[in-house]
Structure 1
Amino acid sequence: MKEYIKLLKSESVLKRLSIIQLIAYFGAWFSNVAIYTLLLDMKVSAEVVAFVAMLHFLSGVIQAPFSGAIIDSMKPKKLMLILISVEIFATLSLVLINNLSDLYLLYILIFFKMAAASFYFTTEMSLLPKILDGEKLQKANEIHSIIWSLSYTLGMAISGFVVYMLGVKVAFILDAFMFIISFFLLYNLDIKTEFTKRTENLAEMMRDTFRYLKRFPHAIHLMLVHAFVGLTAFDALVALMVDKYYASIIATSLALGLLHSSRALGLVIGPIILGKWINNKRVVYLFVFQALSIWLWAVVMENFYLSLAASLIVGLFTTTLWSYTYTLLQKNIEEKYYGRIVAYNDMLFLSMAAFTSFMIGFLATNDFSLEAIASIMACGFVLGGVYFSWVLKTQNIKDIT
């Protein structure tokens, strides 16, 4: 933890970006709990719950082929301010959702809200390797994932009580207010990085990226490895667990908040424990540990309190696995292609998350138990570990340090 604090003190831009992340992410989870609470209160089907969960990721997938080229041809601060503005508008508009007839409006708002959020994230992750390198970059990615997890923990837990006491509309308004604060913090930040205006059009930049990936296929393999972490898109599964097992013993919003915050607590603790231990060869063990923890969750799923403990264990390995594989990609590509490669990486990751959300709904409506669905997700991580082991043996992958 001391190393993270030291890095933030020495890197003023990273410090301000981290504060913005903390505020924006914290606010975002208010609307997340509110959305799923609203859906369950409206008695929607499992397919609708899964589709909404999928929408959270699908928007980022659709825009990714274009966002990378835009990132590499536009100043990052200007682009990030535009994206936060979109998030403010989309979040405030969620207060218009009242009943089942408004579902299509909900779909549209979630799509634009999450598209802007994904675009912002990709822009920031392509900015970090331009201002940091080596171990500092790894630590910055870990800080980002810890902030995401901490915001997730506090946001989900507090949101559960806010939604329970004050209702979903208050949660949406608080979320938008957080984004407004983030906008002004970013507006007053001086980001000093070299920016070269690209003369190629978007189509040519996309073709150039594919030529680069053809010459250096290790980048594709690293993107696919990182995509396996998208199997942890548990939102739809958790909502269905609450509806099936816990709704009779605890309020829906409270159960959602506690389950998500329990897993997020593990996400916060994970990199603090594993950050110094992890290296290229040990990533395989993380995949295996992640699989075992999900199997454990499947075994104890019917018991709410054991499920809370198991979800914490599930979170322990996810953050380190996410941040390390992301840093590996950043370390092993040329700076010229940061925006585009990171965008395609996020597209694959979000595609996996969207596919996972879709399959949860599909399997649940075809008489698969929730325990069986979780076990299938665990098997995916075993496959990911085998694949990464093969990548290390066949590709020239630079170590982070």
Structure 2
Amino acid sequence: MKLLQSEAILKRLSIIQLIAYFGAWFSNIAIYTLLLNMKVSPEVVAFVAMLHFLSGVIQAPFSGVIIDSVKPKKLMLSLIVVEIFATIGLLSINEVSDLNFLYVLIFFKMAAASFYFTTEMSLLPKILDGDKLQKANELHSIIWSLSYTLGMAISGFVVYMLGVKIAFVLDALMFVVSFFLLLKLDIKVEVIKSGENILEMMRGTFSYLKQYPHALHLMLIHAFVGLTAFDALVALMVDQYYASVIATSLALGLLHSSRALGLVIGPIILGKWVNNKRMAYIFIFQALAVYVWAFFMHNFYLSLVASFIVGLFTTTLWSYTYTLLQKNIEEKYYGRIVAYNDMLFLGTAAFTSFMIGFLSTHDFSLEYTAFILGSGFIIGAIYFSWVVRTHNIKEII
């Protein structure tokens, strides 16, 4: 709270972020409810989940260059406009024949959301430093995680009470509010003009990563957090195990609500405890939490508890690894490195969504799929320990 009181720009950006990110994910439950009501195959559900992340992967090589060359406020306003029109377009989706248009709308909506996020995360280290930057990243990771899961959670109740179309309308209105809040914000950040064209800037980024390989290792470490992209898994769980117990939209909403609670409480408990030496334990705890979730998956009420436990460690994983990267790269490359970092993260999330759908259609149980995802964090713990031991990685504080 003290940080928000002393940093007016951060305070306004945080409010905008909460509304915009909330809106970015608010439509998801409506989309998944629509898909399940259409009786589409698990491959379609998984493909839609993958699209939410794939768009960010495809644009990353260019978005970083643009971020380092354009004033952030102008860019962020343009991206919100794209989200407004893509969300309004969702109102036209009614039947299976509209799926291709749905794919296009999701692609552009989430591409803009990812671009906006990358722009903002590149902006933070330009206006904050040291302990303030760490706290800002923790705050923004909480907001992102809260918006990601709580947005879908509340959407579940809205869809149940008011229907899919009303959820889309409310979503679009949230982006309109975000636009006008950002329009009134004065962001004074100098754009460093390198004199290079886009291809030269891209080549320069790869040269930088080759010269300083620790940056690439930190990007790969952060990418492990993409294994927590459980959207498709949760949707398939609801369809397979809970449909006879509770309404689809309510089940989706409650499961995401329980995880959202863990996402918020986790960094409050772990934020001051975690450091470079202890981070490997967070990876291990995340793995164990997913194992617990897999064990209790058949039981809806125990699954709610397990979802909360899963969320406890995710935000700390995300915020700490992100801050480590920001702390260990040069300011000139913030936009490009953060964009490639997000590309790897979103690529992992997209691959996770694809594998959930692939395994579910090849006679693998959802419990076994969750176990595989959990094991990925064990690999992450080993990899992180090796990077810290073999490279000069600065502590955050």
Q: Which TM-score band applies after superposition, normalised by the shorter structure?
A: over 0.9
**Equivalent position of 1:313 in the other structure:** 309
**Equivalent position of 1:172 in the other structure:** 168
Alpha-carbon distance between aligned partners in 2 of 1:354 and 1:27, rounded to the nearest angstrom: 20
The answer to whether the aligner puts 1:365 opposite 2:369 as a matched pair is no
Alpha-carbon distance between aligned partners in 2 of 1:94 and 1:130, rounded to the nearest angstrom: 36
Supply the AA of the counterpart residue of 1:167: G
**TM-score (norm. length: structure 1):** 0.98
Give a deviation string over 1:18-70, Cα, whole Å, max 9, x none.
00011122233320110100000000000000000000000000000010001
Alpha-carbon distance between aligned partners in 1 of 2:65 and 2:53, rounded to the nearest angstrom: 20
Give the alignment of 1:37-186 within 5 angstroms: 37-186=33-182
The answer to whether the aligner puts 1:390 opposite 2:396 as a matched pair is no
**What is the CA-CA distance between 1:133 and the residue it aligns to?**
0.8
**What is the CA-CA distance between 1:162 and the residue it aligns to?**
1.1
Alpha-carbon distance between aligned partners in 2 of 1:198 and 1:163, rounded to the nearest angstrom: 48
The answer to whether the aligner puts 1:265 opposite 2:264 as a matched pair is no
Give a deviation string over 1:5-29, Cα, whole Å, max 9, x none.
0000000000000000111222333
Alpha-carbon distance between aligned partners in 2 of 1:371 and 1:361, rounded to the nearest angstrom: 13
**What is the CA-CA distance between 1:83 and the residue it aligns to?**
0.4
- The match for 1:26 among 22, 25, 30 is 22
Report if the CA contact (8 A) 2:24-2:113 is conserved. Answer: no
**What is the CA-CA distance between 1:146 and the residue it aligns to?**
1.4
**Equivalent position of 2:210 in the other structure:** 214
Give the length in aligned residue pairs: 397
Alpha-carbon distance between aligned partners in 2 of 1:153 and 1:356, rounded to the nearest angstrom: 17
What is the root-mean-square deviation of aligned Cα atoms in Å? 0.8
The answer to whether the aligner puts 1:276 opposite 2:276 as a matched pair is no
Report if the CA contact (8 A) 1:213-1:219 is conserved. Answer: yes
Give a deviation string over 1:55-103, Cα, whole Å, max 9, x none.
0000000000010001001000000000000000101100000000000
Report if the CA contact (8 A) 1:74-1:197 is conserved. Answer: no
Alpha-carbon distance between aligned partners in 2 of 1:149 and 1:387, rounded to the nearest angstrom: 24
Supply the AA of the counterpart residue of 2:334: Y
**Equivalent position of 1:195 in the other structure:** 191
**What is the CA-CA distance between 1:152 and the residue it aligns to?**
4.0
**TM-score (norm. length: structure 2):** 0.99
Supply the AA of the counterpart residue of 1:298: A
Report if the CA contact (8 A) 1:59-1:111 is conserved. Answer: yes
Supply the AA of the counterpart residue of 2:183: Y
Alpha-carbon distance between aligned partners in 1 of 2:147 and 2:224, rounded to the nearest angstrom: 23
**What is the CA-CA distance between 1:255 and the residue it aligns to?**
0.4
Runs of 4+ displaced beyond 4 Å:
none
3-state SS of 1:333 partner: coil
Supply the AA of the counterpart residue of 1:179: F
Alpha-carbon distance between aligned partners in 2 of 1:204 and 1:10, rounded to the nearest angstrom: 39
Supply the AA of the counterpart residue of 1:37: T
Alpha-carbon distance between aligned partners in 2 of 1:136 and 1:287, rounded to the nearest angstrom: 24
Give the alignment of 1:319-330 within 5 angstroms: 319-330=315-326
Give a deviation string over 1:136-155, Cα, whole Å, max 9, x none.
11110110111223334543
Report if the CA contact (8 A) 2:71-2:191 is conserved. Answer: yes
**Equivalent position of 2:227 in the other structure:** 231
In structure 2, runs of 5+ residues without a counterpart are: none
3-state SS of 1:379 partner: helix
Report if the CA contact (8 A) 2:19-2:175 is conserved. Answer: yes
Report the identity percentage.
81
Alpha-carbon distance between aligned partners in 2 of 1:174 and 1:379, rounded to the nearest angstrom: 38
Bigger shift: residues 52-61 or 154-163: 154-163
3-state SS of 1:242 partner: helix
Give a deviation string over 1:168-187, Cα, whole Å, max 9, x none.
11101100100000000001
Alpha-carbon distance between aligned partners in 2 of 1:224 and 1:207, rounded to the nearest angstrom: 19
Report if the CA contact (8 A) 1:287-1:385 is conserved. Answer: yes
3-state SS of 1:180 partner: helix
3-state SS of 1:181 partner: helix
Supply the AA of the counterpart residue of 1:49: V
